[in-house]
Every structure is written in C-alpha cells, then in structure tokens.
Amino acid sequence: MSTRTAGPAGPTSAGAGSPWRNWAGNVISRPVREVSPASAEELAAELRRATRDGLRVKTVGTGHSFTSIAATDGVLVRPDLLTGIRRIDREAMTVTVESGTPLKRLNVALAREGLSLTNMGDIMEQTVAGATSTGTHGTGRASASLAAQIRALELVTADGTLMTCSEEGNAEERAVFAAARIGLGALGVITAITFAVEPLFLLTAREEPMRFDRVIAEFDQLHAENEHFEFYWFPHTDNCNTKRNNRSDGPAAPLPRLAGWFEDEFLSNGVYRAACALGRAVPPAIPSIARVSSRALSSRTYTDVPYKVFTTPRRVRFLEMEYALPREAATTALRELKAMVEGSPLKVSFPVEVRTAPADDIALSTASGRETAYIAVHLYRGTPHRGYFTAVERIMTAHGGRPHWGKVHTRDAAHLAAAYPRFAEFTALRDRLDPERLFANDYLRRVLGD
C-alpha cells in the first residue's frame, strides 16, 4: 500500500527569506529558499543545485527538536511530499515508509493492518526521519528507541548518490547503517526507513500516584517487573505519578471517552496551560500550584492498542533538557536534583520525567553500549530557563550523562567524543560522506566539530 503523492516536474520551492520556527519557538532561522521534493531523484537534483550555489542544506520535520539541529541559512528541505507507506512485508515483518511520514499517520495505518511498532515515544507528531535521526525514545526494559527498530534505510548523500543500507549490505553499507539510524542529519538526507513491526498487541497501562522516596527505593524493582516503566516527579513536592505498561491478553478496555478527555485534555493540557501561565506571571505561586496539580491525577488502569497507551497529546509548549545516564546512576542523580531544587530559589513549574532503555549498538545513540535511564526537565515556554538547566546539566554530566541530541544542552564535540566510545567512527564516516559539509550548521559544528 502507498499514499505517496506524485510530484511536479521539479521540487516545489518557497520564496526566499521566509522564517522557520521550531515547535517551542526558541529557534528561528531564515533560509535562502525552501524546497519540497517529491522523490529521491528530485532531492538529489536539489542537493547538486545547492552545491553549485554554495549553500548548506538541512531537512526539517515538524520542528519538535529544542536545539537548532535543523536550522539553516541555506536550503531548507521540507519532506511534505515524501510521505506514505511504500510496502509492508508480512514475511519479514517490516514496513517501509517515506521519511516525511508523521508517526501518528504511521501508527494509525499500521493498526488498520493489524501491525504495530514494538515501542515508541510519548508523542507522535514527529516525522519518522526526524524522530529517529535525533534519537527519539520511549521507555522499556528490553525494547529500545525508534532508531533501534530500523532494519534498513535509504538516504541521498552529499554528492547525490542514493544509498540503501542495512546490516545485510556490504562493508560500507553496514557502516552507514550503524551510524545513520541516529545520524543527526549530518550524513545525508533520509528518504525512506524500513522498521521492524509485529502483530498488533494490547497494552495495559496502570497509572498510580506514589511518593518520591518510595519510587526511588523501588526503582530497580519497578524497572525489572514491568516491560515499560516511567514516572514523573513534581518539583516542590514529594509527589510522583508512575506509569506501568505491560502486554495484555485482553480484552481491550480503553479509557471512557469523557474520562480520557477530562484528564488528558482538560486537566493535562487546558487547566495545566493556565496554571503554567499563572506560574510564569507569578513565580512565587509555583510551589502551591505544583502541590495542587500533582494531586489532580488519580490512579487509573486501561487496556488499548500500543500507540494509544504509549503516546499522549502535549499541547502545552515548553523547553526541555534530557540526559541519558547509566541506569545505576539514576536514583543518586534524582536525589541530587531534588536537593538542588529544594535548596535553591528556583521555581519549577513542570514535572521531571524519568524513563529507561536497554543498551543498543547505534554509534551516537544515547543508550549506545549501556543500560540507560533518561532524566528530562522542562520549563513552560517563555520562562527563563538558563539557571535551572545549567544546574541540572552540572548534575547529569557529573554522572556520565549524554544529552539528547534534540533537546537543550551546552555540550560540545570535545565532551561528546569522551562520552561516546564510537564518536570517532561516526565523524570518520561523516568525513567520507560529506567532506565539504553540505549538511553542516552551527549546531553540528558544535557537537561534531568541523
């Protein structure tokens, strides 16, 4: 099956100088031109044109990264016409999908076919290429990030070559596959991704409030006993909200529509947006707001198809920093984070999110080579964030943390080369595939060097 849209004779181009903003509004760039190629061939032609014009090229998805990873003052490629499922292989249990396809469309289409990804992040607004290229992940004891579920990918390199790579390819294709699954947009423009899928299954979610000290004391047990465990701690309180997702034999028991709307939309988005706006205007009120909001969500259990359990709507806009730590360091780091907030004048309106992932074999994956815990901090959009994020980053780096590539951080190539054992492998491949740095921008110069 395919929903790919046929393109015109050449790629669609927007007028020069139109500003581009990311979802959070903290990154703005003004490319010379925008293009929307409808095929790999059109994309290759656009890359060659950019080279002739001396312009850099970046591809942008839905702008859900909080860093300037997609910003460019050259050519901005929008993959709006590179969408849809190319094919489903039920024998190999894979799906091949165009790079600009939003995850929400992929999830719905797979469910209609009786299929599902094994694991996913907590939102599904991103394009498949944008999500995988920055290391988007959910939480899982044994199932890893979206990129770890890739079985093959197709990309156009800087010289216009169309390359398909997988673990079954030749030496160069295997090397590209090992790196490009989380390629940061530095190795080429991805045009299609082949994911592993499995028969559609049910998940039972159990959400339950729990005290901070109990969660910390039982963290290893909760991780071991559940396929997918995560929790949120509300700063200025001792309150957490835990979520345990495990496979179920059924029957499906989704949230009643009204109850789901009340908690996920009215409370978690509508009321919470108003509370955050109040906290931004009157920071001393934030601890009181946190105490009220941390008690607003009650225990609930429901069973549904994976994407309806893993993902939730996020309509309150924020800035985020997330670090990946060795899993054994998580509880110590969280205690230090809590003590730092309580011993400072900071007023933090957003909960801290904690998730886990198994080790994987992707060169620049935040879980590369080690069992991982993710600690993510957020602040409402428009709230001064530098003091809080700097203090958090100091704690996370002291515990060997690796920053999420698409979220706010200040690390540079010198730091990251020490944090990633396979960093030099990635940069050497970049030197071969993009020696003239067609895909460079300020962010990649900082995190990968030049």
- pLDDT averaged over 10-residue windows placed end to end, the chain, 450 residues: 33 63 96 97 98 98 96 97 98 98 98 98 96 98 97 97 95 96 98 98 97 98 98 96 96 79 59 78 84 79 97 88 98 98 95 97 97 97 95 98 98 98 97 98 96
Domain ranges for the chain: 1-201+411-450, 202-304+316-410
Q: Is 29 helix (H, G, I), strand (E, B) or coil?
A: strand
Q: Given CA atoms 151, 125, 433, 414 in this order, what sign does their dihedral have?
A: negative
Place of tokens 């995850």: 103
The secondary structure of residue 107, as a DSSP letter, is H
pTM higher than 0.75: yes
Residue-level pLDDT at 282: 87
Lookup: tokens for 297? 């969500």
The sheet with strand 94-98 has its strands ordered as: 85-89, 94-98, 189-196, 150-156, 162-166
Cis peptide before 251 (omega within 30 of 0): yes
Whole-number Å distance between alpha carbons of 62 and 291: 33
Whole-number Å distance between alpha carbons of 409 and 257: 38
Residue-level pLDDT at 8: 33
Q: Is domain 1-201+411-450 annotated with CATH 3.40.920.10?
A: no
| Measured CA distances, 39 to 156, 165, 411 (Å) | 11, 18, 36
Residue-level pLDDT at 394: 98
Q: Are 36 and 75 in contact (CB under 8 A)?
A: no
Whole-number Å distance between alpha carbons of 310 and 138: 8
Residue-level pLDDT at 2: 30
Q: Are 206 and 241 in contact (CB under 8 A)?
A: no
Residue-level pLDDT at 258: 59
Bridge partner residues of 163 (DSSP): 155
From the centroid of its chain, how far is CA 100? 15
Cα distance from N-terminal residue to C-terminal residue, the chain: 42
- Read out DSSP for 175-242? HHHHHHTT-TTSS-EEEEEEEE-EE--EEEEEEEEEEHHHHHHHHHHHHHH-SEEEEEE-TTSSEEEE
Element (H, E) at 48: helix 40-53
Residue-level pLDDT at 297: 72
Residue-level pLDDT at 449: 96
Comparing C-alpha atoms, which of 348, 216, 355 is closest to residue 291? 348
Name the CATH superfamily housing domain 202-304+316-410: FAD-linked oxidases, C-terminal domain (3.40.462.10)
Q: Are 55 and 32 in contact (CB under 8 A)?
A: yes
